[in-house]
Structure 1
Amino acid sequence: MNSTIADMADQLCTLPGIRAVALGGSRARGTQRPDSDWDLGLYYRGRPDLPALTALAADFTGRPVDVAGPGGWGPWVDGGAWLTVDGVAVDWILRDLDRVERVWAQCREGRYEVGIQPGHPLGFWSPAYAGEVALSRVLADPAGELTALRAQTHDYPEPLRTALTEAAWEAEFSVDAARKSAGSGDVLHVSLCLSRAFGILAQSLHAHHRTWCVNEKGALASAAALPDTPPGFAERVSSALGALDAVAVETAAALVADVRAVLGSGG
Structure 2
Amino acid sequence: MRAIIENMAGQLARVPGVVGVMLGGSRARGEERPGSDWDLGVYYRGGLDLDALRALAGPEVEVTGPGGWGPWVNGGAWLRVDGVAVDWILRDLDRVGQVWADCREGRYEVGTQAGHPLGFWSPCYPGEVALGRPLADPAGELTRLKRQTTDYPEPLREALTAATWEAGFLLDTAAKSVERADTLHVSLCLSRAVGVLVQALHAHHRRWCLNEKGALAFAEQLPDTPKHFGRLARDLLAAPGGSAAELAATVTRARELTRQTVAALHP
State the TM bucket, normalised to the shorter chain: over 0.9
Contact map agreement 2:6 2:135 (CA 8 A) in 1? yes
Match of 2:159 among 140, 159, 163: 163
CA shift digits 1:20-66 (9 cap, x unpaired): 100000000001000000000000001211111011011xxxx5210
Q: Percent identity?
A: 66
RMSD: 0.8
Count of paired positions: 261
Q: Report what 1:20 is aligned to.
A: 20
CA shift digits 1:179-199 (9 cap, x unpaired): 121222000100111111000
Matches within 5 A, 1:26-65: 26-58=26-58, 63-65=59-61
Q: Report what 2:11 is aligned to.
A: 11
- Work out the CA distance in 1 between the residues paired with 2:48 and 2:158: 36
Q: Report what 2:145 is aligned to.
A: 149
Q: Which runs of 5+ in 1 are unaligned?
A: none
Name the SS of the counterpart of 2:118 in structure 1.
Answer: strand
CA shift digits 1:207-234 (9 cap, x unpaired): 0000000001111101111111011111
Quick check: 1:260 aligned with 2:262? yes
Contact map agreement 1:241 1:248 (CA 8 A) in 2? no
**Greater Cα offset, 240-249 or 44-53:** 240-249
CA shift digits 1:69-117 (9 cap, x unpaired): 0001000000000000111110000000000000000000000000000
CA shift digits 1:126-162 (9 cap, x unpaired): 0000100000011000000011000000000000000
Matches within 5 A, 1:73-112: 73-112=69-108
Q: Which letter does structure 2 place at the counterpart of 1:109?
A: E
- Work out the CA distance in 2 between the residues paired with 1:88 and 1:248: 41
Match of 2:112 among 113, 116, 131: 116
Contact map agreement 1:239 1:248 (CA 8 A) in 2? no
- Work out the CA distance in 1 between the residues paired with 2:48 and 2:39: 18
- Cα deviation for residue 240 of structure 1 reads 1.1
- Work out the CA distance in 2 between the residues paired with 1:251 and 1:222: 21
- Cα deviation for residue 260 of structure 1 reads 0.3
- Work out the CA distance in 2 between the residues paired with 1:116 and 1:47: 25
Runs of 4 or more, structure 1, over 4 Å off, are none
Q: Report what 1:246 is aligned to.
A: 248
- Cα deviation for residue 239 of structure 1 reads 1.2
Quick check: 1:195 aligned with 2:191? yes
- Work out the CA distance in 2 between the residues paired with 1:182 and 1:110: 35
- Work out the CA distance in 2 between the residues paired with 1:90 and 1:180: 45
Contact map agreement 2:224 2:265 (CA 8 A) in 1? no
Contact map agreement 1:24 1:41 (CA 8 A) in 2? yes
- Work out the CA distance in 1 between the residues paired with 2:253 and 2:33: 34
Q: Report what 2:244 is aligned to.
A: none
Name the SS of the counterpart of 2:119 in structure 1.
Answer: strand
**Greater Cα offset, 205-214 or 45-54:** 45-54
Name the SS of the counterpart of 1:15 in structure 2.
Answer: coil
**Greater Cα offset, 231-240 or 195-204:** 231-240
